[in-house]
Structure 1
Amino acid sequence: MAQRLVKIIIYLVLAMMILIAALIALYWAPDRSVAELKQWQLPNSKFIAIQGMQAHVLQSDKCDVYRSRSSIDQAVSAGKSLPEAIVLLHGTSASLHTWQGWIKELSDEYCVVSMDLPGFGLTGPYTDESTKYSSANYAKFVIQVLNSLNLKKAPQLTLAGNSLGGKIAWRTAILYPEYVQKLILIDAAGYPATPKHIPLGFKLAKYPALTPVLIRILPREVIKKSILSVYADDTKVDEALVDHYYDLTLRQGNRKALNRRLRDTDNESNPAQIKQLDLPTLIIWGAQDDLIPVENAALFHKDIANSQLKIFDDLGHVPHEEDPVATVKIAKDFLKQPLKVS
């Protein structure tokens, strides 16, 4: 009986090893270098040295006046008004590409800046592995990018963020209030939430024991299902969109960084801090958001005195990407509202 049990265990172990070998053979997807992903660098994006990283940052043409202190001084001396700036921050596992629809609509009037946050897109992970993927460290990164681009000189700067990017936006406004005059929060993190559905990629990345395997294999279907879970309209998730998310997930170090990001929760940014915000804030939410429920939109609206709320009934967790035209229209109206002088 004992020998039979040993044989069964050996067969099970062998079967498991064969299964793992088959999965690796079928879904083998090693890290890719930035050079191998060059197609995802846009014509108006560039790399900036921040904290030892090469941060992938996009600027619209209106930002040219901020290219140096001297160009700013020359414009002011000539009586030219400096353009207002809007900075766009993406969510977990996304990249600056998520904002392409908004960038197209805003670039004629504003200095528009977007960036790949550490651990995502072409920026990749923090070079110092001891750095936590906390909202405070992300806020510090954003400020260093703004300083590098001389954007503190902008007459008005708006931070807009989705999901994790929304949390980074409001945390930046609290930690560095002298930089931010307006906020746009889109399905933002900040309050406790019980997701109806969690993207499959997020579920797998939470387990450190799976990291050695997950950084070497990546079924494309995992990425597709993750995108479908944050969209309300599945027909908008085409193969080109899946390719984009899939390729940038393979950027060297991003899969390992995602595991860290999902474990590096920061308790210092509790919801009570949101009540400290005292600046014009637009809250945009997709009612079909299964990751951060629409009830959280009402919490932001209640706790931020100077806030406006717009809910889109037919959109999901990434409304700015799913329907950029409808959502940016609300944002443009908000941006044109004058600041109240106290």
Structure 2
Amino acid sequence: MNNFFPAVLRLIAKLVILAIAVIAVAVIVFWTPGKPADELAERWATPPSLFMDLHGMQVHIRDEGPRNDPEPVILLHGTSASLHTWEGWAEHLAQHRRVIRMDLPGFGLTGPHPREDYHITAYSEFVIALADSLQIDKFVLAGNSLGGRIAWTTAAVAPERVTRLILVDPSGGYPLPPKSMPLAFHVAQLPVLGQLMDYMLPRFMVRNSLENVYANPDLVTDELVDLYYDMARREGNRQALRQRFQQDDNGHEQAIIRSLEQPTLILWGAQDRLIPVANGYEYARDVRNSELVVFPDLGHIPQEEDPDQSLQPVLNFLGLAEQR
């Protein structure tokens, strides 16, 4: 008995030393320092990309299509994505409508918010400020995941500005838990590992996270992984992701959703494991002037996984189907 406790202490000490050694090796192997936006812009901000000075940030933006459009279409991406997620949609829509997409604060080449404010209200204020800077009075607002939540929040606080809504697997509003969450999201919310991710980012984690939100993981190409990996490596973005999760004020927001009066198109991938399609039916029930379209074979980001299939209902909604 007298030798028991010293033996246990020695074992604990060895385990602590082993854990420290494993962490040290992992940091060395997966050390991933941040990269400045201008270095990443050489690959990911080619024309028609521009940078706009807004709210103390250099916002990465693409503004395409006819300038005489009375109600431009503004596209908002989801968590850890970028304006590139809308490439397939924008390529066609810009032939008929003015299309504006940007990297939201904390993501893409725009990078961290100078006040580290990632509450939904701050994002909504950002969208309105962006429209004001571009001298756009009224607009159609579309968003995927986090972008969808920002979209319907903005529509609720500025109904005189948002004429139509397109919600693509939006987050928020309903408490249904995910069936599966991307690995990177899990790690970012852990106390110690989340902070370690500020300095190390295994490439396989990015690929795993993308495959998690696609219905068909075979569509996750090396170039797509390059894009998401580089956007995560942009200086400050990993810290911003942690802060975004810490500031998440997602609650029971059905009252806000029920207040929406804009014509609303709700798109959902039936294979979405992050935000189950059951949420889509909740939105369709609560948004009085809405239409729900479910894609049986798509996941959480339909506009990226299959731009052609997911765009067709949008063209019908905007009265552009015959112009395709």
Same fold (TM over 0.5): yes
Verify: 1:330 aligned to 2:309, yes or no.
no
Unaligned runs of 5+ in 1: 66-80, 338-342
Pairing partner for 1:317 from 300, 303, 319: 300
Q: Distance in 1 between matches of 2:278 and 2:251?
A: 23
Quote the residue 1:164 is aligned against: 146
Pairing partner for 1:199 from 152, 160, 182: 182
- Given that 1:171 and 1:269 are in contact with CA atoms closer than 8 Å, whether structure 2 keeps it comes out as no
Q: How many residues align?
A: 315
Quote the residue 1:40 is aligned against: 44
Report Cα offsets for 1:156-213 as digits up to 9, x if no partner. x210000110010000001111211000001011211211101110111112333431
Verify: 1:23 aligned to 2:6, yes or no.
no
Quote the residue 1:272 is aligned against: 255
Verify: 1:54 aligned to 2:41, yes or no.
no
Q: Distance in 1 between matches of 2:146 and 2:65?
A: 27
- Given that 2:69 and 2:97 are in contact with CA atoms closer than 8 Å, whether structure 1 keeps it comes out as no
- Given that 2:188 and 2:195 are in contact with CA atoms closer than 8 Å, whether structure 1 keeps it comes out as no
Quote the residue 1:257 is aligned against: 240
Pairing partner for 1:218 from 171, 189, 201: 201
Q: Distance in 2 between matches of 1:298 and 1:6?
A: 56
Give 1:94 deviation, angstroms.
Answer: 0.5
Quote the residue 1:174 is aligned against: 156
Give 1:268 deviation, angstroms.
Answer: 6.9
For normalisation by structure 1, the TM-score amounts to 0.89
Q: Distance in 2 between matches of 1:147 and 1:183?
A: 19
Quote the residue 1:239 is aligned against: 222
Quote the residue 1:140 is aligned against: 125
Q: Distance in 1 between matches of 2:258 and 2:28?
A: 51
Quote the residue 1:70 is aligned against: none
AA in 2 matched with 1:298: Y
Identity over the aligned pairs, expressed in percent? 45
Report Cα offsets for 1:134-172 as digits up to 9, x if no partner. 1111000011111111111x5xx2100001100100000
Q: Provide runs of 4+ in structure 1 moved above 4 Å.
A: none
Unaligned runs of 5+ in 2: none
Give 1:10 deviation, angstroms.
Answer: 2.3
Q: Distance in 1 between matches of 2:7 and 2:95?
A: 75
Change (3 A) 1:107 1:40: same
Q: Distance in 1 between matches of 2:250 and 2:178?
A: 19
- Given that 1:284 and 1:310 are in contact with CA atoms closer than 8 Å, whether structure 2 keeps it comes out as yes
Question: Could you say what the CA RMSD is over the residues aligned between the two structures, in angstroms?
Answer: 1.5
Give 1:267 deviation, angstroms.
Answer: 5.0
